[in-house]
Amino acid sequence: MTIVRTALVLAAFVATAAAADAQSLYVEGGAALTWREPGWRQQAIDDTAPTHTATETAVFESGWWLTPSLALEGSIQIQRRQTLSWRYAYMSVSEESSTDRDVPIVGHVRGVAYRRGSVSIEPLVGGGFSRHQSESFTLVSCGSSGVTCVPVMPPRQSGASSTWEPLVSAGVDLPIRAATALHVVPTARLLYMHRRPYLTSVDFRGPSSGLGLMWTIGLALRFSAH
């Protein structure tokens, strides 16, 4: 609900700021793939950390043009969760499954570096925060001895956490005018967020957080009032 409220406040802020000059308003939405490094837990001495893997992402942006070549905007990415399996073995032994994902909320300054005919090149840069969420479930419980293991059906939630992580963002859009008020927009984003070291509330006894560097490539539709 916090994410929904933030998105609504962002949309209301943009709409209010643009009310004095409705011709400057634009909204954009689309789908993308985000390459991010999930959390991981070393299970054996020869295990290596996972590489960046793609996850589906929905992207929404809204802003207004201050001049024909300069705009301010807000954006939100809603990423699909990624899953990892790991073994907990401190006071008791269990097989765990954890999910984590990011919801970056970013403010951008957008410029027009090139415009000719129906095509533009628009770099953007900004910053904000990511809502980093993780949730863990116990799949198999082995008790304190670790010998007798019993499947947990249904899986039992063993922890959840949400943190706000500061981030910086840069990217470029290539809007292609398809109609008077409609653009088809290939998009690219590069984000870096400051991660906390551990993914779950058990800290070093659980998975480590993945690297906070991620990139997104997608396709969006932009509706503009001018």
Question: What are the domain boundaries of the chain?
Answer: 2-40+50-224
Give the mean model confidence (pLDDT) for residues 51-56: 92
Give domain 2-40+50-224's CATH architecture: Beta Barrel (2.40)
Of residues 45 and 217, more confidently modeled: 217
Q: What is the pLDDT at residue 21?
A: 43
pLDDT band at 44, cuts 50/70/90?
Answer: low
Q: What is the pTM of this model?
A: 0.81
pLDDT band at 17, cuts 50/70/90?
Answer: very low
- DSSP sequence for the chain: -HHHHHHHHHHHHHHHHHGGGGGGEEEEEEEEEEEE---B---STT------EEEEEEEEEEEEEEETTEEEEEEEEEEPPEEEEEEEESSSEEEEEEEEEEEEEEEEEEE-SEEETTEEEEEEEEEEEEEEEEEEEEEEE-TTTSSS-EEEEEEEEEEEEEEEEEEEEEEEE--EEEETTEEEEEEEEEEEE---SBSSTTGGGSPBPPPSEEEEEEEEEEEE--
Among 41-55, 124-138, 153-167, the range scoring the smallest mean pLDDT is 41-55
